[in-house]
Amino acid sequence: MVIDENKCPICGHYNACGRNDPSCWCVTKEIPKSLFEQIPPQLLHKQCICLKCIDEATKNIED
């Protein structure tokens, strides 16, 4: 299996992660635990979840 670090492991779209930038949203944004549970084990901690998926999950928690 080839892992594309630029794709979200949940939706498969471009994740726009700046993992090498300590100010990237992926470092500062709180990610709901429920999102990590949706990631296949072989992709866990190998691809960043995209901002759209994080925002959608957070919106659902707040509603």
How does pLDDT run across 10-61, given as a tens digit for each residue? 999 998 887 777 777 777 888 888 899 999 999 888 888 999 999 998 886 7
The residue type of 20 is N
The whole-model pTM stands at 0.80
Contact by Cβ (8 Å): 11, 47: no
d(CA 4, CA 12) in angstroms, rounded, equals 9
